[in-house]
Amino acid sequence: MESPFKVDVLKGKVALLTGGGSGIGFEISTQFGRHGAAVAIMGRRRHVLDDAVSALRSQGIQAIGVEGDVRKQEDAARVVETVFKQFGRLDILVNGAAGNFLVSPEDLSPNGFRTVLDIDSVGTYTMSHEALKYLKKGAPGKEQSTGGLILNISATLHYTAAWYQIHVSAAKAAVDSLTRSLALEWGTDYDIRVNGIAPGPIEGTPGNRKLVPEEMKSKTREFMPLFKLGDKWDVAMAALYLASDAGKYVNGTTVVVDGGLWLSRPRHIPKEEVNNFLVLWRRSQEHLLPAFHQANYDLISLKPHDIVFTAITITIYYAIQQKKKRDLFSTQCFFSDD
């Protein structure tokens, strides 16, 4: 799909992306490069980095891959310094490294819980902390009045609750808190904008394949307002908007890109049955109102069959609710840390 942005909208910018070698992260890397930015991607697996860099360069994009683990402060510092030495500046940091798997709380060890928080939450803070000196206004390669952008990839799981995702829900809630806090403090002191993106289920990503088995996809679509999965391109366009001058006054916001899925609930009662209930209800109102008016709203004047008719109508409504009630199992996806 063709981008709605001009091809030079990020011309002269340098972006560092953790988790930029695959899935959504790679699509963001690609779109940033196609729109003029030089791109550095960070990950733990050398062969993934090499393949991604090769694919980017084949499109004429300036790109490098730097091996490192976001959980290690020394790696974060080394990667940031490598990017600065290579390109002479840093304008955009995308924190996309993430870990995820399906597990019930009783089967999740504290170490497994901690590992996900270390990658998603602590890793996001560590990378941001190390990149600050090059992102703030007046940094090398920067104007005195203009800082850079931090873009944190989040999720919507913690907006309500999600089955088998307690570790990721906690981690992404922390990421959203970091986004708001850094937007306040670093926006004020250093003119750095800090925003987030919360993707929903995205077609063709490692996370979607791992977390959403094929037999579940049709069930998930039933509850999507737009009745379809998103594309990596959708998330990349949101990132491009926030990274460009079009988003220069957006700060402290997490943009949800999920087609409205997180708002969804199962439709316990079919619309036709609701309409049928409304017909019954209107009939009961037409039957009861004259009695109310004649007795000046004195309930004593109501005849037994008036009350019985209304009670039956209400009983039917709640019986339908209970009969149609069913659980919604919704899943979200994340891309890997490489």
Report yes or no on 162 lying in a domain.
yes
Report pLDDT for 260.
Answer: 87
Question: Which residue ranges in the chain fall short of pLDDT 50?
Answer: 215, 297-300, 326-338
Report yes or no on 149 lying in a domain.
yes
Report pLDDT for 335.
Answer: 38
Q: Is residue 254 domain-shared with residue 292, that is, in the same domain?
A: no
β-strands 254-257, 63-67 pairing: unpaired
Q: Is residue 233 domain-shared with residue 103, that is, in the same domain?
A: yes
Which residues face 154 on adjacent strands? Answer: none
Domain residues for 300? 271-324
| Domain total in the chain | 2
Report yes or no on 4 lying in a domain.
no
Q: Is residue 170 domain-shared with residue 297, that is, in the same domain?
A: no
Q: Which residues, at least 6 apart from 324, have a Cβ–Cβ distance to it below 8 Å?
A: 268, 269, 270, 273
Would you put residue 44 in left (φ > 0), alpha (ψ -120 to 50) or beta?
Answer: alpha
Report pLDDT for 203.
Answer: 75
Report pLDDT for 274.
Answer: 79
Q: Is residue 218 domain-shared with residue 122, that is, in the same domain?
A: yes
Assigned token pair, 50:
């090499």
Q: Is residue 205 domain-shared with residue 315, that is, in the same domain?
A: no
Cα gap 134→81, rounded to integer Å: 9
Tell me which of 236, 263, 290 is where a domain ends: 263
Report yes or no on 336 lying in a domain.
no
Report yes or no on 291 lying in a domain.
yes
Report pLDDT for 332.
Answer: 41
Which residues face 39 on adjacent strands? Answer: 15, 63
The answer to whether residues 36 and 44 touch, using CB atoms and an 8 Å cutoff, is: no
C-beta contacts of 166-169 below 8 A and 24+ residues apart: 166/105, 166/108, 166/113, 167/100, 167/103, 167/108, 167/112, 167/113, 167/116, 167/117, 168/98, 168/100, 168/116, 168/120, 168/334
Report yes or no on 330 lying in a domain.
no
